[in-house]
Each structure stands twice: as structure tokens, then as C-alpha cells.
Amino acid sequence: MSEPTFESELIRAAEAAHLCGVAKRTWWRLVSSGRAPAPIRLGGSVRWRRTELSDWIAGGCKPVRTIRKGGDV
């Protein structure tokens, strides 16, 4: 069995959305609202760690950022 490569560990928005069972547009809304893990930015690329998403899904997809009273994040 081969070791995971850097490219297979970091995934694009379309694959992240697919893993979560939502449309790509919905995925971006979840990320923007702080309800999904934040991406890693590499130059002009945006990626997510596959293991972080798997852990987030296994944990029930709880919001990553919490909303404080008054709507502040």
C-alpha cells in the first residue's frame, strides 16, 4: 500500500462538497458562515484537509465558529 500524497490529502471545494453531500454553492455558504472547517490557502489555490473534513463529518458537522449574542462571530 502506498503512502498518501500531498495532493490526495488536500482536496478542492468540489470534492469537499461531494464528501459532505451538498452542492458546491452550499459548501461555500457553509464555509463563509463558519459552519464548516476553514480552508488552507496556497497561493491562488484553496484546499481542505481530507482528514479534517472526515473528522468534522464524524463529529456531526457541528459549526466550527460559534455565534455570540448580538450576531458577532
Per-residue pLDDT of the chain (73 residues; tens, 9 = 90+): 566 565 578 999 999 999 999 999 999 999 999 999 999 999 999 999 999 999 999 999 888 876 555 555 4
Residues 6+ apart with CB under 8 A from 56: 36, 37, 62, 64
**Strand, coil or helix: what is 68?**
coil
Is the pTM value of this prediction over 0.85?
no
Measured between alpha carbons, how far is 35 from 70 in angstroms, rounded to an integer? 17
